[in-house]
Amino acid sequence: MKKALTVLFILTFAAIVAVTAAGCSFRGASAYEIAVRAGYSGTEEQWLETLKGDKGADGQNFNAGYTAYELYEEAVANGGYSGTFLDFISEYFGSDPSSSVQAAVSEAVFSVVSVYCKFPVSSGRFSQTYYATSAGSGVIYSIDKTKGDALIITNYHVVYSSYSLTSNKIASEIKIYLYGNETSSGAISCEYVGGTSEYDIAVLKVSSSPVVSSSNAKAAVFADSDEVCLGQSVIAIGNPEAEGISVTQGILSVESENISMSDVSGDKNSIRVLRYDAAVNPGNSGGGLFNASGELVGIVNAKTVDEEIDDMNYAIPSNTVSGVVNGIINYCLGKSETSFYRAYFGVITTIVSTEGRYNATRKCAETVETVAVESVSNGTLAYGKLMAGDRLVSVKYAGKTKQITRSYQLIDVILSLNVNDEVIFTVVRNGVTKDVSITVTQSCMTKVS
């Protein structure tokens, strides 16, 4: 039996202050760069020629007479390798881990911001109005430097307080700071676009900021969180203890799990997360979890707190974040609405079987599930189309096909859908493979709290 654990948001709160009542993806070091460090003095083109065996003057033989270039040709011809020769050489020789991490941080840090919120609250026997302040982090989703505009992702719990006197409990004042400009002159005002306590995601908007226009800030590059690997390097970047942007490194401990935690209203909520061991602290909430290429794999949101436990930290997967953010933008940006809607298919799935496998292509241990339809609610979008017992093989939407190897993938797909989108499920029904087409309608959209 699992021990009951306390999972907490990682948000920094400052003391209450009295006021008046009016009050480009980087890579690791290439094989050529490693060769130069080892003393090679020629150009990259000359170095490549030395690796080509009969095609060059000084080809070095590997593996019973094969040159590196011949191994590359063999991998392309018979192994389906799709990378360039330089990619192959980098993988063949390996790379300098510290250089790779440094490059990833140098790419990712310019997409992370510090977030500071101010909430009007009532306190004392005379119900004076005070300001409570909190600090967290955020990630740039999109940016237009010509206009000085940007959209920022953060956690909902960063900008929400149940004690706030605002009608929606959202901070009355939100400011962000870019990396390297965390001074009073670098403060950038934001407006709240929308959010959800269910997924703990909120979107902020920056408009016409000269600080943004003149900065080196950039939008984060999203990785496919379905492609993360157990044990891969991850980098957490955020604003711990409101001390400014900082970086920690670790590995991915669990590629997908559901944790139970109290949301901002105090209700228990189950949320799917990545688990990792890179150190995070109060203030990291809303910051980014990045892979070794500097791509976003998740939004940091919580950690397990127990005197016997170290470094069990969590992030909302990037695929979930992407779907939620797109929904918030579609339904809330430029409108009075601050909640978004998602498609409701009425399908409950079940895991028929599950096993751990080694994926030789990805060089990764992975969990593979066989997912089937358990039931379909009467009168819903999928009723009469998907059937109980259908084994879900793949789903095609927006011109791309995703194999269904985990039960959560269906939820991430649904989060990404808009009205009039067509979804094609490939299923096995009574031993026969068939395609089932479903078109999303307005009537199937449901509000997300």
pLDDT interval class at 7 (50, 70, 90): confident
Domains of the chain with bracketed CATH? 1-23+96-339 (2.40.10.120), 31-93 (no CATH), 341-447 (2.30.42.10)
- Look at residue 56 in the predicted model and tell me its pLDDT: 39
For 285, phi then psi, to 5°, come to: -50, 130
Helix (H) or strand (E) holding 332: helix 318-332
Evaluate whether 356 touches 367 at the Cβ level (below 8 Å). Answer: yes
The answer on pLDDT for 21 being more than 60 is: no
Evaluate whether 288 touches 139 at the Cβ level (below 8 Å). Answer: yes
pLDDT interval class at 35 (50, 70, 90): low
- Look at residue 29 in the predicted model and tell me its pLDDT: 44
- Look at residue 92 in the predicted model and tell me its pLDDT: 58
Distance between CA atoms of 16 and 133, rounded to whole angstroms? 7
pTM of this structure:
0.81
Distance between CA atoms of 66 and 53, rounded to whole angstroms? 8
For 318, phi then psi, to 5°, come to: -60, -35
* 304-325 residue pLDDT tens: 887 677 889 999 999 999 999 9
- Which of the pair, 96 or 53, is modelled with greater confidence? 96
Nearest partner of 137 among 159, 115, 108, judged by Cα = 115
- Look at residue 96 in the predicted model and tell me its pLDDT: 56
For 71, phi then psi, to 5°, come to: -65, -40
pLDDT interval class at 204 (50, 70, 90): very high
pLDDT interval class at 284 (50, 70, 90): very high
Indicate the pairing of strand 400-403 with strand 422-429.
unpaired
- Look at residue 81 in the predicted model and tell me its pLDDT: 72
* 80-104 residue pLDDT tens: 677 766 566 566 555 555 567 888 9
Ramachandran assignment for 267, one of left (phi > 0), alpha (psi -120 to 50 degrees), beta (any other):
beta
- Look at residue 198 in the predicted model and tell me its pLDDT: 93
Distance between CA atoms of 196 and 325, rounded to whole angstroms? 10
The answer on pLDDT for 418 being more than 90 is: yes
CA dihedral 343, 227, 301, 240 (to 10 degrees): -150
pLDDT interval class at 11 (50, 70, 90): confident
* 378-389 residue pLDDT tens: 999 999 999 999
- Look at residue 30 in the predicted model and tell me its pLDDT: 47
